[in-house]
Amino acid sequence: MSRVLVLIATIPSRKRSCERLLIELAKQSRLPDGVILVCDGYGDSPSPACPLEVVVDYHSSTPQGAGNRWRVVAGESEGVLKADDIVVCLDDDTMLVSAPGLVAALVETVEASPCAAAAMGRTADGKFAPPGAYSRGELIYGAGCGLTVRAGMLASLSAFAIEVSAAGGPDALGLYGDDDALMSAYLWKQNVRILHAATGNIFPAPGTHATSQTAVHHAKGKPFDAQKIAIARITGWPWKTMGMQKG
């Protein structure tokens, strides 16, 4: 049976929130086999306390951005991780109180077919697929929080990110990068479908908001999906900019 590993990138100001999330993970209906902690900017500071086995504990001295979590996993996939390990990505401020079966729903989706799974995202026609009790089917964009893949699917991710950057696109796995968009485009290029799983509702914990790449681009007068547009232009990924719907 494949191992289920939860990937969490965390920053020092969210350590308490991350520890709360780890406790909630230990109460999921499907217990993860381990956790991959990417401690961004922690340096030599202790990692968040974790009741589950920590399979990878990666520390950086300077902030590298949440997207670096995928570089860490891609690098570890040839060492600690195995190709059939299932990696569930969660943000360090995620609350799971209304989604006790989140891990189970995401993992069961990936186990059922050679695909990726997501708790939320966008469909090909631009409709929002929220986390909840119902699936919207196939997605063109999967939000990073809840994105679930097999480790072996990430073998050429780092090379793909370099190609996008070299073609004039963003460093999407770097600081303030839109790693969700890059991952979605990468899976699309790999012919890996992203299926929306019925996970139950997840939401960010109150009081844990930090500056995001979206906020940074708004401050510079750029559209919220500037990186998505660039990635789509370079890769052919069919991101719909116009006519985005909330329904």
Rg of the chain over all Cα atoms, to the nearest angstrom: 17
pLDDT at 241: 66
Residue 178 lies in a domain: no
Structural domains in the chain (count):
1
The average pLDDT across 90-118 equals 97
- 121-122 and 86-91 beta bridge pairing: unpaired
Structure tokens at 58: 């990666």
DSSP designation for 207: T
Residue 61 lies in a domain: yes
Residue 111 lies in a domain: yes
CATH number, domain of 51, equals 3.90.550.10
Residue 223 lies in a domain: no
- Domain residues for the domain of 110 are 4-155+190-205
Residue 165 lies in a domain: no
Distances (CA, A) of 217 to 10, 79, 128, 132, 183: 22, 36, 21, 29, 19
Strand, coil or helix: 159: helix
Residue 9 lies in a domain: yes
Q: What is the pLDDT of residues 116-167, one digit of tens each?
A: 999 999 999 999 999 999 999 999 999 999 999 999 999 999 999 999 999 9
3-state secondary structure 11-74: CHHHHHHHHHHHHHHCCCCCCCCEEEEEECCCCCCCCCCCCCCEEEEEECCCCCCCCHHHHHHH
> For the chain, first and last CA: distance in Å?
38
Residue 50 lies in a domain: yes
- Nearest alpha-carbon partner for 241 in 162, 181, 200: 181
Q: What is the pLDDT of residues 26-75, one digit of tens each?
A: 999 999 999 999 999 999 999 999 999 999 999 999 999 999 999 999 98
Residue 168 lies in a domain: no
- Nearest alpha-carbon partner for 4 in 78, 107, 112: 107
Indicate yes or no: pTM above 0.75.
Answer: yes
